[in-house]
Amino acid sequence: MVIPEAKEGKAEIWYTEYHTDDLKLSLRVKRFLHTELSRFQRIDVFESHEFGVTLALDSRIQTTERDEFCYHEMLVHPAMMTHPNPERVLIIGGGDGGAAREVLKHPTVKRVVQVELDERVVEVSKKYMPFLSASFSDPRHQLVIGDGFDYLENVTSEFDVVIVDSTDPIGEAKKLFTSEFYSGVKDSLREGGIAVGQAETPFLYPTITKGLYEVVKQVFSNVKLYLTFVPSYQSGMWSFVMGSDGKLEVDRATLEARYRERGLQTKFYNPGVHLGLSELPNFLKSLLGLE
């Protein structure tokens, strides 16, 4: 929602995202770059004073130029670095290209298949967010326009890592938070494969976070919930759930060796941050029944 306001005699334009009935985040807008209604959702791109170029879907901020690395690096690298040799990766969602960009930093990767429902998100991101969407031009990257849920019905034991970069669990995205979906994800993984998905903010939406944790726990032998911090997201605190039938713990020496060998260039993620993923604040331990 756009709210014009007057300040010191000058008109201002603000883009407001409502988080709860009592909480909202507003960004002051320099200029609007693009607005459209695709077949699936409203797409807005604008340049904000604080966060730079910003992408919003159905009036919910998805990514910004300033802090996107906080989300994309922590969605991708914990799973990629836990796997000893990730060669084939599936990304479901992530039409802006940020997750694919981070996956393709790993020289072990031979093939990335990305399944995005809304082709217009891809095209708009290519035009206005090339710092994310440049990944689409990599020859290892294959873009599939379609429903990720349906795509999994025809895939078995093909991928080393599956990354679910979904929007909030509303509309078409609801089914990406179900045990049926994650059962399909599991079937698509090769032996020792790892899945990871975004799990919203446990500070504002604890039932969603706990719900996805329980879903992944039903499907995989080992599960881990971990946190990152994304300033432009609801509450700033964001969570991810990682699942596998293999091990999810990696020692410091192994992580540091992989980080060097793969030559990763990151702004947020590093082996020390990765090691801290195993530690959760007490309120989250209580929420997940891990006390």
Active-site position among 44, 96, 165, 187 = 165
Strands (E) in 99-231, as ranges, are 111-116, 141-145, 159-165, 189-198, 222-229
Q: Are 245 and 222 in contact (CB under 8 A)?
A: yes
Q: Could you tell me which of 273, 174, 288 has the C-alpha nearest to residue 225?
A: 288
Q: Please, which residues bridge with residue 93 across strands?
A: 165
Backbone angles phi, psi at 138, to 5 degrees: -70, 130
> Residue 184: helix, strand or coil by DSSP?
helix
Q: How far apart are CA 33 and CA 99, in angstroms?
A: 23
Pull the structure tokens for residue 87: 């060669």
Burial track 132-150 (b if 16+ CB lie within 10 A, e otherwise)? bbebbeeeebebeeebbbe
Q: How far is CA 238 from CA 18, 62, 74, 222, 241, in A?
A: 17, 12, 10, 21, 11
How many CB atoms neighbour CB 4 within 10 A? Answer: 9
Q: Is 165 a catalytic residue?
A: yes
Q: How far is CA 7 from CA 12, 13, 24, in A?
A: 7, 10, 19
Q: How far apart are CA 83 and CA 267, in angstroms?
A: 21
What sign has the CA pseudo-torsion 139, 144, 148, 154?
negative
Which residues are catalytic, by number? Answer: 165
